[in-house]
Structure 1
Amino acid sequence: MALPIKGEPACRLRLDPKNGLITLVTPYDTPEPDVAKLKNVGFTAVSAGDDEYAELTVRVEGSVHGAYGLLATIADELQIEKMPLAAAVAAGVARHRNVFASRGAMTTEKEVGLLGELLFLEYLIHQIGAGPAASSWQGPLSEEHDFTFDSVHLEVKTTSSERRRHVIHGLDQLVPLRSVPLSVLSIQLTRTAPKGGRTLPQVVAQVRKIAGGHQVAVDARLASFGWQDDDADLYSTYWALRSQPRAYDVKGDFPAMRPDLVGPVVPNFALVSEVSYRVDLTDLHYDALPDPIGGFVESKES
C-alpha cells in the first residue's frame, strides 16, 4: 500500500504490514543520509527507468505511530523547509530518536551498584526522613561521595561475590573532602528466589513511594545511573543481602591508592589517568558508623 504525501519534492509512504516496515520514497539526492548506526532505520537508492529514488525504511517494532511520525517529519523537512535529503533525515532523526533507540539493561555490576545505594537510601528514609535522605544521596555524576553527612561521607560499594571484593574507580574516589571522615560501605548481595528477595524495579518502586514529595530528587539520581522505567522488565533477578553490610574507615591500614601516596613514587605521575583497582576487604577489621545511620551496618561487637 502506498500513500502519497502532497507537496514537492514528491514523497510517498509505502506500508508493509506483513514485515512491519514503513518506507518513505522520494527522489534521490546526494549526499546520502547516514543511517548506518541507527538500529531500526535503513536506506537504499533504487532506479526506475530514468529516475532514481531514495528509500528510507523504518522497522516498526511495536510503534506504528513513532515510525510514521519519523517519516512524516522527514517529508515535512523536504517539502516545507526545502532541506536536502541528508539534512532532512538528520533533523527527523533528532526529533524521533526514541523510535529506533535500542533497549538494554545495565550491566550486572551497575545493577547491583544501584541496588546497594537504594537499599541504604531506603534505610535512611525510615531513619532520618525522606528530605534529608534524598539530599544526602549525591549520585554518580556528582563530584561528591555517594552519600554525604556532616559527620561522615560514604562511598557505597556493592558486590555479588562471596568475598567483599570491590572496584575503586580512580585515585580520587577515596580522598576525603573538606576534612570530613570517609568510610566505605561494603554491601554483599546474592541471587535468590522470589519469596526471599526483591528485584531492582521493586526496590525502585518502594523507594519512590516512601520518598513522597522528594521523588523528583530521587528520580534525578536514578536517571544519572542510567535507569529507565521502560526497561524495568529487563531486570528480573531477585536479590537479597548475603551478609550484613560493613563500614570501613578510610584511614590507617585501609588499602586506598590516593594521589598523595602514589604520586611521589610514579614518574611523570601527571600523565597517568583512568586508574582502577580492586580491593578485598573481607578480612580487614571493620568500623562503626555514627548514629542515626549506624544501625545499617554490622556493629564491631557482633
Structure 2
Amino acid sequence: MSSGASNLTATSEGARHLSVANVDVVWMSGNPVVLPIVGVPTCKLDIDPPNGTVTLITAFTPPEPDVAKWRNITFRLVDSDDGELAELSVTVEDNLHGAYGLLTSVADQLQLHGEPIASAVATSITKHRNLFAGRTGLSNEKELGLFGELLILEFLIERMGPGHAVESWQGPRSEEHDFVLSEVHLEIKTTASEQRKHMMHGITQLEPLRGIPLKLISIQLTRSNHEGGLTLGQLISRVRVKAGGYRPMVDASLEALGWDDTDVKLYKTFWTQRNDPRAYDVDERFPALTADRLAAAIPNFPAVSNLSYAVDLTHFKPTDLPEPLAALVTIDAEHP
C-alpha cells in the first residue's frame, strides 16, 4: 500500500473490507492504491484518485456482465500472464462510497457465494441500483427517427456539400420542418413496420410554411446484421466524417435530439433500408390534423394539447422531388 494511505485506522477483526473512514483516507491521499481482497477467486481493488475510478480486477469466466445501460460503470477484458482478467470499473464522481460498496459486493458474490462474474455483477447492481442512474437512451421511435434524418442528411451532404446540407437540417434547432430548402421543405418519418404507418406529433408538424411546398419523406427500415446494416452509432460516426468542418453543427443537432455519445452501446440494433424512400405531397388531400382543420371541427379547440396520431401511407400515391433531391426517392407504384 502506498505511503499516502498510511493513516488507515484499524478495522474490526476479520473484516473483509475497509471501513468508510478508511476508504476516505485512501481516496484523499491522492495516490493510486491496489488492495487485495482475501478469498478465491483472487480479487483486487484498484483505487485510483487521479483518474477518478475504482476498479475490481479478477479472473474472467464467461459470459461478460451486461453493464451497458448503467452510467459510470464499465467492463473490459485484459490479457495478462495469469490469463484473461476481468476489470469492472466505476467512475466515482461524487459517489465514492457507492462505487466502493458496489465493487466489494461483487467480490463477496464471487468469493463467498461462488457466483460467476456476470451473475455477481447483476446481483450487486440490483442491491445498489439506487446509487447509479440507469441509462435510458432514446426510445425506439426516436432512435428510428434520428436514423432516418441522418440518412437524409448524408444524402444531402453528398449531393450539395456539407455546408448547405447541414444548415438545411433545421428540425432539431427550431420550429421549422426537419429540412428546410429554398424550393421545398421535408418532414422525415421513419418506421420499422411493413406498412408505411407513421406517427405525427402536434398540429404544426405538417403545416406548410411561407408558401413553400412541404413533402413528407417516408423511410422504412428493417433489422439486419453487422454485414448488411449499421447501428445508430455507426451512422452518426459516418455522417460526422462527411460533415467535415460542419461537425459542430451536426453535434449540436444530435444533442438537441437527445443523443449522448456515452450511451452508444445501448444502440445494438443494425438497421438497413427495407426499400427506397417515398415522398408524399402534404397538401389539401393529405390527412393532416392542422390547426385550421381542427378549429373548424372541434369546439374550444385551443384547449386540445399533446396531440399525436398515426397516418398509414401504404396505399397513397408517392410523388417526386425537385433536383438535386430527385434520386432520394422512388415513385414506383407500391403494392401492399
Change in CA separation of 1:138 and 1:13 when aligned onto 2, cut-off 3 Å: farther
8 Å contact kept, 1:118–1:207 = yes
8 Å contact kept, 1:139–1:225 = no
After superposition, give the CA deviation of every residue in 1:259-287 in whole Å (9 maximum; x if it has no partner).
11111111111111111110000100111
User: Corresponding residue for 1:162?
Assistant: 194
Alignment of 1:290 onto 2:322 = yes
Q: In the alignment, which of 276, 293, 297 is matched to residue 265 of structure 1?
A: 297
Letter in 1 for 2:203: L
Shift of 1:160: 0.3
User: Corresponding residue for 2:16?
Assistant: none
Q: Matched residues in 2 for 1:70 and 1:132: separation?
A: 48
Q: Matched residues in 2 for 1:69 and 1:218: separation?
A: 38
Shift of 1:67: 3.3
Higher relative contact order (CA 8 A, sep 6+): 1
Which structure 2 segments of 5+ residues have no match?
Answer: 10-19, 25-34, 38-44, 48-69, 72-87, 100-130
Letter in 2 for 1:269: F
User: Corresponding residue for 2:218?
Assistant: 186
Shift of 1:61: 6.1
User: Corresponding residue for 2:90?
Assistant: 62
8 Å contact kept, 1:155–1:185 = yes
Q: Equivalent residues in 2 for 1:1-302 (5 A)? A: 13-15=21-23, 62-64=90-92, 67-68=95-96, 100-299=132-331
Superposition TM-score, scaled by structure 2 size: 0.63
8 Å contact kept, 2:317–2:333 = no
Q: What RMSD over aligned residues (CA atoms) do the two structures have, in Å?
A: 3.0
After superposition, give the CA deviation of every residue in 1:96-141 in whole Å (9 maximum; x if it has no partner).
xxx9543222111111100000011011100000000000001334
Instruction: Tell me the secondary structure at the aligned position of residue 280 of structure 2.
Output: strand
Percent identity over the alignment? 47
Change in CA separation of 1:64 and 1:123 when aligned onto 2, cut-off 3 Å: same
Change in CA separation of 1:255 and 1:201 when aligned onto 2, cut-off 3 Å: same
Q: Matched residues in 2 for 1:289 and 1:69: separation?
A: 59
Shift of 1:252: 3.3
Change in CA separation of 1:225 and 1:14 when aligned onto 2, cut-off 3 Å: farther
Change in CA separation of 1:107 and 1:252 when aligned onto 2, cut-off 3 Å: same
Aligned residues: 232
8 Å contact kept, 2:221–2:273 = yes
Q: Matched residues in 2 for 1:242 and 1:155: separation?
A: 19
Instruction: Tell me the secondary structure at the aligned position of residue 144 of structure 2.
Output: helix
Q: Matched residues in 1 for 2:93 and 2:231: separation?
A: 32
Shift of 1:158: 0.3
Instruction: Tell me the secondary structure at the aligned position of residue 179 of structure 1.
Output: coil
